[in-house]
Every structure is written in structure tokens, then in C-alpha cells.
Amino acid sequence: MRRLIYMLTVLTLCISLIGMVECKNAERRAYVPGDLDCDGIVSDDEMILAKDSHNRGTISSEELSDIEHIHENYPRKVIDGTRAEVTIYKPVERAICTTPQQLETLRSIKVPKEVIVGVPQDMERYSYLSEFADLPSIGHFYEFDVETILALEPDIVIVHPGPGPTGGFDPLLANLEDSGLSIFRFRCNVPETYPRDVEKLGVLFELEAEAEKFLDFYEDVLDSVEKVVSEVPEAEKPKVYCEYDVYKTSPSDVYPIAMAGGGYIFEGSVPVREVDPEAVISENPDVIIRLVSYDDFDAESAGDVSKLKAARDELMNRPELQGVKAIQEGRVYVMAAPFWTYLPYCSCRYFVGIEYMAKWFHPELFDDLDPEETHQRYLSEFQGLDCDLEEKGVFVYPTSV
């Protein structure tokens, strides 16, 4: 009884500050509505006091509802993309993303735009993500500005797990974590971990149903390909060479090619970056894929394949490759970065690229597969974009098998 009387006294002193006070301590920056002792938790006693405050007219019904929601659902623990456990104490109202792929993923699970308060630099270059271009920039994903992030007062910051192209960025992350912010690491562009990223982000933003709906679509696309290619004997899978620049490739190319039913010619070897043309000639690939980046292909006219065609023509005309099977049979395809995973302008749409590759690798098995239909549904239903692929966007060449 004494405790209740004491708490009522405290409530009388603090009630006008409910929802506005900040408890700045080593664990959290933001105040949790209804949390009078600043431990981040709305206890049973504090819930009783909040109801009493509502009955006396000092907090609104909406404020009471928010406090009840927090009392019933928080704190909650979320496992991020590195399997680290992070605790949050109230619904996320202000979030910062450090990569475009994180923004795209949040759009897929219907996180409202107004929740996003900071974005990576150069968003004006991405017509696909133009709705975020007017938000404050926090810098590059591996060179973000800690002071800018702190000034935006986010509840959470979603970062790339690293490392960046110049190495790790652990000191920056340490500065963020020391500030008391909740930091979550999600790649959001790697097939091996993407479903788990989506699921955990759904939990983080209390959008589990929306995340499940998107994952049903996403996994159905990939499962329909996997079901077919899993029946193809290894000896019948085409040998594939892939490059993102002239004789430059990446170990990250192996997984999506395998998912589409191909065998990457450098799989299992020491990670390759600079390719010896003689190695390509020696492997004699059945299919060659040329990736094209450093351009906003979402903004191109759907009929303007000039840049993709130029990339294919360059590859087809390399004198040293004229004896390679893929060149002789014309099985050389160009794919723009939005359908891949690690390039500038890459996105979360690599699953559409996998459908295209499945048709290229096994045209007789995927005659009815329509990657453009999959892409259009994704843009319309999950990205919420008014975008007609018959008018805008060019991503593969040749466009037919």
C-alpha cells in the first residue's frame, strides 16, 4: 500500500510529462510512455497508475491505449542479421536505414514512410526509391555520419553488417552503440539470409502478417524454380561464366547462378576477382552473363536496350572468345544491376533475375515462366509503385530466350 501511495505521489509530479520525458541512460535514449522509473518497462503497478491517471482525465484514451500496448508487448527481443539479440522497449516510431535495400525491404512489409527519418546518401539517383529522396542523408553505408544520426533522434538504426569496400567500420558502430541507440544489422540483399531478415524486420516493426505475406510470394517464386532445377542432373546443368566488368567477377555470383540451375565455372576455386581470359576459354562455358551497373535502369524507357546491347556486343566481339561455346551459340545475356545482389543500383529483386536465368539455362523446362509478370506484381503489390514495365525500366537483353 505504501508503494502505491508513493507511486501516486510520483505520478502527480510527473503526469504532465508522460510521453515527453526522456530517460537518458546507458541503455536507452527515448522515454517509454507510462514508464515512471525509467527502467524501460511498463510494470503492472505503472499500468494501474496510468489507468488511474486516465480516470482522472490527466492522460487521454489514446495515450492510455499506447501505454497498454507497450505493457502487453514490450520489451521484446529481436535477433538481427548477425544473430545478435537486441532488446527494444517500445514500438519503433523513428528509424534510420543505411542502405537502399533496407528501404526496399521495409517498403515490402508496409512500414510507413513517415517512420523513416534518415536514409543513405545519393537517394536522388534512384528513381525506384524517389519517395525517400527528400529525407535527411546520413552518408554512405560504411562511412555514415554518427553526429547526423544522433541529431535525428531515431529509435533504431539499421546498418549493414559489413565490411564495406574499404574494410570494417566497427569504430563507427561502436560510437553508435555507446550513444544508447538500438542497432540492428541486416544485409537485405543476400539470398542466403534474406527470408530471415524479412521475418525479423516484421517482428521489429510489429508487421509480422505483412512480412509473412511478402515471404509467401517471394518463396513461392524461388520454390517454383528450385522444384524444377533440383530434378536436373548435374551433368545437364550449363556451365556459366558471369562478369560485372571486363573479366571481373565475384564469389557472390555463385549462389544465384546455382539457384537458377547453372554451374558457375569458378565455383569451389579460390575467390576470383580478376579473371584470366584463358581460364574462361579453358572452361568453355555454355552461357555467359554480363552484369551492367552504374546506371538507373529503372528510369530507362522500356524499349531502350542500347546500353545493354552495347555491353553484349562488346563481349560477343572479343576475339579471344570466338571459340567459346556460349559465343558460338549466342547464349550471352546481359542483366542490369537491380536483378543482382552486390553492385551499385542492386536491389532486392534478384529473385526476378533468378527466374530470367532459369529460362536462359533451361528454356525447355521454363517455357511458361514469366519473370516480367513476377516483377510487375512485386512492384505493384509489394512496393506500392505505379510503374508499368511496358513503359518504364529495362533490365535484361536479349528480352526473349
pLDDT at 23: 55
Mean pLDDT, consecutive 10-residue stretches, the chain (401 aa), reads: 48 44 48 91 95 94 96 94 92 96 98 98 94 95 90 94 64 76 91 95 98 98 97 97 94 93 85 85 98 94 95 98 98 97 92 98 96 98 96 92 62
Tell me the sheet residues that pair with 357: none
pLDDT at 169: 67
Between vectors from CA 362 to CA 361 and to CA 365, what angle results, nearest 5°?
Answer: 160
Q: Where are the alpha helices (DSSP H) in 205-295?
A: 208-229, 254-259, 277-283
pLDDT at 16: 40
pLDDT at 312: 98
Nearest to 147 by CA among 115, 179, 116: 179
Strand 139-140 and strand 76-79: the pairing is unpaired
For 192, how many CA atoms within 13 A lie in the half-sphere containing its CB?
9
Nearest to 358 by CA among 305, 401, 315: 401
Strand 396-397 and strand 332-336: the pairing is antiparallel
Tell me the sheet residues that pair with 139: 144
Q: Contact, 158 vs 116, CB < 8 A?
A: no
Measured in whole angstroms, the distance separating CA 72 from the mean position of its chain's CA atoms is 29
| Cα gap 41→46, rounded to integer Å | 9
Please, is 159 exposed, middle or buried when counting C-beta atoms within 10 Å of its C-beta (0-12, 13-18, 19+)? Answer: buried
Collapsing DSSP states into helix, strand and coil, what is residue 49? helix
Sign of CA dihedral 149, 384, 337, 357: positive
pLDDT at 5: 45
Contacts of 63 by beta carbon, 8 Å cutoff, 6+ apart = 18, 19, 33, 54
pLDDT at 273: 79
Q: Where are the alpha helices (DSSP H) in 330-370?
A: 350-361
Q: Contact, 354 vs 225, CB < 8 A?
A: yes
pLDDT at 172: 74
Measured in whole angstroms, the distance separating CA 314 from the mean position of its chain's CA atoms is 32
